[in-house]
Amino acid sequence: MSATNPKIWCSSHAMDILSRLAAEMAPLETGGCLAGYYARNSEDAVVTNVIGPGPNATHMKTRFVSDRDFDDESLAALWETSRHAIRYIGDWHTHPGGSSRPSLMDKAFMKHALRSRDAALKYSLVAIVFGDLTDARFWCLRPHSRWRFASFHELNVIRY
């Protein structure tokens, strides 16, 4: 793996969806999945779809629990309709009025996601919609990173 961090390519439409879904549930946390693909010959990821929280998600002031059945069904549908091009690449959630940095619980989830064989991730990716819920920061945890004690990195986002 290279020493540089991957970039995240995210459409303005996807960023707008993140902000809209966040505002709908504020002041409670919400979230969902990020779908897209990894760029060829690169570790960059392209976010093409944002999946919302699903009907059975749990929203609390400082915690969000995803509706995994909804996530799985939505991701399977994208996988099929895209002819196996669009897949799960990460998660997103909100910190209404809060920080853009991952919490200890966020970091534990990212470690768990990275170890999941089913996900087949290049790295664990999370977007956090924060503060006034109009912007998001993307973070990654890379496997076997040379930054052993500082493995969580904020990524550059390129909007298209």
What does 106-123 look like in DSSP terms, one character per residue?
A: HHHHHHHHHH-TTT--SS
Answer whether residue 12 is part of any domain. yes
Answer whether residue 136 is part of any domain. yes
Domains in the chain, number? 1
pLDDT grade for 1, boundaries at 50, 70 and 90: very low
With beta carbons less than 8 A apart as the criterion, state whether 33 and 92 touch.
yes
Answer whether residue 108 is part of any domain. yes
Answer whether residue 157 is part of any domain. no
Answer whether residue 57 is part of any domain. yes
Answer whether residue 152 is part of any domain. no
Kindly report, residue by residue over 19-66, the tens digit of the pLDDT.
999 999 999 999 999 999 999 988 899 999 999 999 999 999 999 999
Question: Cis omega (within 30 of 0) on the bond before 102?
Answer: no
- Structural domain for 117, as ranges: 8-140
Q: What is the CATH number of the domain that holds 47?
A: 3.40.140.10
Kindly report, residue by residue over 135-153, the tens digit of the pLDDT.
999 999 887 655 454 478 8
Beta-carbon contacts of 54 under 8 Å, excluding residues fewer than 6 positions away, are 32, 66, 67, 69, 70, 71, 74
Answer whether residue 1 is part of any domain. no
